[in-house]
Amino acid sequence: MKKVSLHPEPHKGSTSPLGATVCNGGVNFSVFARDCSGIELLLFDHADDKTASRIITLDPRQNRTLYYWHTFVPDIGAGQLYGYRVSGLSDPQRGLRFAPDKILIDPYGRAVVVPPGYDRAAACLPGDNTAQAMKSVVADPRGYDWEGDTPLKRSYSRTIIYEMHVAGFTKHPSSGVSAEKRGTYAGLIEKIPYLKDLGITAVELLPVFQFDPHDAPAGLCNYWGYSPVSFFAPHAAYSSRKDPLGPLNEFRDMVKALHRAGIEVILDVVYNHTSEGDHKGPTFCYRGFANDVYYSMDSLGTHIDHSGCGNTFNANHHIVRRLIIDSLNYWVREMHVDGFRFDLASILSRDGQGHPLKNPPIIWDIESDPALAGIKLIAEAWDVGGLYQVGSFFGDSWKEWNGEFRDDVRSFLKSDNGGIYRFVARLLASPDIYGHQEREPEQSINFITCHDGFTMNDLVSYNIKHNEANNEKNRDGSDANVSWNCGFEGATDDPAIEELRNRQVKNFLAVTLLALGTPMILMGDEVRRTQQGNNNAYCQDNELSWFDWGLLARHEDTHRFTRLLIAARTAHGENSAEELTLNQLLGKARLEWHGVHLHKPDVSFLSHSIALTAWSATGRVVFHYMINAYWKPLRFQLPPPKKLPGGVWRRWIDTSLASPEDIVPWDALPTITTKQYHLPGRSIGIVIARREDD
C-alpha cells in the first residue's frame, strides 16, 4: 500500500538566499556544505523534543547545486524550529569532521532556542544529542515596525562610549528592574534615563550574538559571551519573552528606545573564533558542515589557535567572508545597529594557515561595503598569536582601541619613571602612533579600563590579580596590570587611602574624557564598581560582575564628576560660529607646554608633572592644565592674566578637592587671584579664562 504523506511534499528550492527564508506558501532552506555525502533537515515542535516531528532527506540530485543544499518546504512559517544532520567522511588529517549523529544549527539562522536540558558535553561525545541540542528558528524580520528609526551616525567627535554588559547592567537586585526583566534587553530599556543623564552617546555592548554559556570551567558559566554559536541570532537568554522569536523583537525594541534617547548601539562582535573549540570541542554548527572551510588549520588538519579559545575562524576564505559580510549587513539593515567593535580584529588579517596578509580581503570587504558606509568600525588591533597592529590597522574607516593609551596613562599617573613623553602623546591623540596616517584625533579610542582587566576602582585598590573564584588557581588573566593599590591590598576603611583612591579614579576619568580622541569608559567605573581584584571575570555571572546600583549613592561624587566632565566635553558654545565641542576646540588650539615654571616643561626620566596652556583658535577661551603625578605637592606658575580673555583665571577642576569643589559647573567657576596654583600630590587641576559672553 502506498504511504500517504500528511504534509505537502518539499520542492527543489533555491540556493539563495542562504538560511531559512519565509516565502509565499512556505520556507526556503539553503546551506553550504561542500564535502558532505548527505543532509537531513529536521523540523521540531519543541526545543527539547527527543525526536523530530518531521525529517526531510535532501536528494543530492534535486536538492544540491554545487556546494549548496536547498529545499522549499510548504505550509510552514516563522516560528518553526529546525536543525540539520550532515553525513560525510571523518578524516581529521584532511580537516573533515562530519558527525551525522549531531543536530546542527543553521549558520545563517536568525534565531536560536536552547532546550532546558542543553548539554555541551553531549555535542562533544559520540551519540545522538537531539534532546540536548540547540535548534534554529525560522524568522521573518520584515514585519517589525521601526516607526521611522534609522542608525544615528553621530560623529566620533561627539561620541562618548560606554562599554557595558546587557545582563550585568540590570541583574543586581538593587537595579529596581522587575525580576522578570532583570538581565534582559527590556531591563536595559528601563535604565536608559540613567545613561542619558550621565551623558552617554553610545553603548558598546559585550557580545549579544547567541553564545554558549556552558563554555566555562566546571561549575561556572560563560558570562561575557565571547563564545559565539551564531552570527545572526540575538542571545536568547537576554530576552524576557518566552516565545522563540521574542529575542529578535525585544532586541529591536531596545535599539529603537536607545535611538530615541540619542544613544547609538555598537556591538562587540567575535568573528575570530567560535565556541566549537579545538578537536575535542562540541559539534553544533560550522564543524559539522565544513570544518576545513570555517577554521584555519595546519597541514595535519590541526586547528590553529590565534584566539586563545581553541580555534581560529578562517575569515579570509571566500565562504567565510560572505558569512561575515552578510552578518554585518543583517545587523545594520534589520537590527539597526550603529557600529561594531571587532574582538581580536588582527585575526581578520590572517590567511587560512594563520599567516598575516598584506591586504586581507575581509578587511577591505568591510571597508568598501556601501551598506556599512558611515557605520562605526572599531578594531581591537591585536590577537593572542602575537600580531599587534595598533597604529597600523587597515583601511580609512577603522578606529582602534588604543592599548598604548591605557598602559601609558596608567603608568604615568601611578608615578612610574620615564613616561612623560608617552603620556603627553596620549593626551594629544597619540601622534607618535597615528601621525603618519594624517588621521583625525578620533582615530584613537581612549580607554583606561574595559571588560578585560581591572575595573577602575580595582586599578587603584590592587597590585595583583585575585582570580581564585575562576577555579583556575589564579593562573588566568593578565599579570601586566600597571596598577597600584595606594598602600593597601583590597578594600579598606582607612580614610586617607580611600581619599587617595577616589582622587586617582578622578584623575583617570579626567584624562580619559579630556584627552584628544574618542573616550570610552567601562560600565560602573563612574561609581567605582569593584570585582574584588578579579581581572578576568568572564565566568562570573553573579554580583561580582553585576552593576551594584547601591554604589550610586555611596560614590555620588565620582558619578557627579563623570557626568559634569562628559557634559563639558560634548557641549558646544552657543555663541561659537562653528559650535565646536571641547574636544574639537582643543584639537584646533595653540598649545604651550610648561612645567612648574612657565615655558620650562620637565621632560626628564624622573619627571612626574606637566602643564599645558591651550589657546582657542578664536582667542575667546584659554585652558590651563596642570597634572601632578608626583607624590608631593607642587606649585605651578600661571600665565599672567592680563592677556587672557576676561582677564582672570577661574578654577574648573581640582581632583584634590572634595565634591562639589572637585569640578565646578561652568556658570559658577570661582576666581583665582594668585600667580601660582598649589596642587597636592597625585592631582589634576584645570583653570579657564574666557570672555564673559562665552
Active site residues: 343, 380
Q: CA–CA separation, 33 vs 320, rounded Å?
A: 12
Are residues 16 and 49 in contact, defined by beta-carbon separation less than 8 angstroms? no
Omega before 17 cis (within 30°)? Answer: yes
For residue 605, with 0-12 CB atoms within 10 Å meaning exposed, 13-18 middle and 19 or more buried, which class applies?
Answer: exposed
CA distances in angstroms from 127 to 88, 98, 100, 132, 420, listed in the order given? 16, 13, 9, 11, 61
Q: CA–CA separation, 361 vs 399, rounded Å?
A: 18
3-state helix, strand, coil in the chain (%, to 5): 25, 20, 50
Q: CA–CA separation, 188 vs 165, rounded Å?
A: 10
Are residues 591 and 612 in contact, defined by beta-carbon separation less than 8 angstroms? yes
For the record, the C-alpha cell of 466 comes out as 585575585
CA nearest to 286, candidates 277, 278, 294? 294
Q: CA–CA separation, 489 vs 137, rounded Å?
A: 50
Q: CA–CA separation, 360 vs 252, rounded Å?
A: 32
Beta bridge partners of 31: 69
3-state secondary structure string across 367-381:
HHCHHHCCCEEEECC
- Longest alpha-carbon distance in the chain: 106
Strand duo 264-269 + 81-87: pairing: unpaired
End-to-end Cα, the chain, rounded Å: 92
Residue matched to cell numbers 598649589:
678
CA nearest to 505, candidates 564, 552, 570, 455? 455
Q: CA–CA separation, 631 vs 625, rounded Å?
A: 18
How many helices (H) and strands (E) the chain has is answered by 14, 27
Strand duo 68-74 + 64-65: pairing: antiparallel
Helix axis angle for 556-570 and 495-514, nearest 10°, is: 10
CA distances in angstroms from 206 to 147, 168, 346, 378, listed in the order given? 26, 10, 18, 13
Q: CA–CA separation, 340 vs 267, rounded Å?
A: 5
Beta bridge partners of 11: 72
Give strand ranges (E) for 283-382: 339-342, 376-379
Q: What are phi and psi of 567, to 5 degrees?
A: -60, -40
Q: CA–CA separation, 618 vs 625, rounded Å?
A: 19
DSSP symbols for 133-189 = S-EEE---GGG---TT-------GGG--EEEE-TTTTT-SGGG---TTTTTSHHHHH
Are residues 488 and 497 in contact, defined by beta-carbon separation less than 8 angstroms? yes
For the record, the C-alpha cell of 191 comes out as 535604565
Are residues 374 and 416 in contact, defined by beta-carbon separation less than 8 angstroms? no
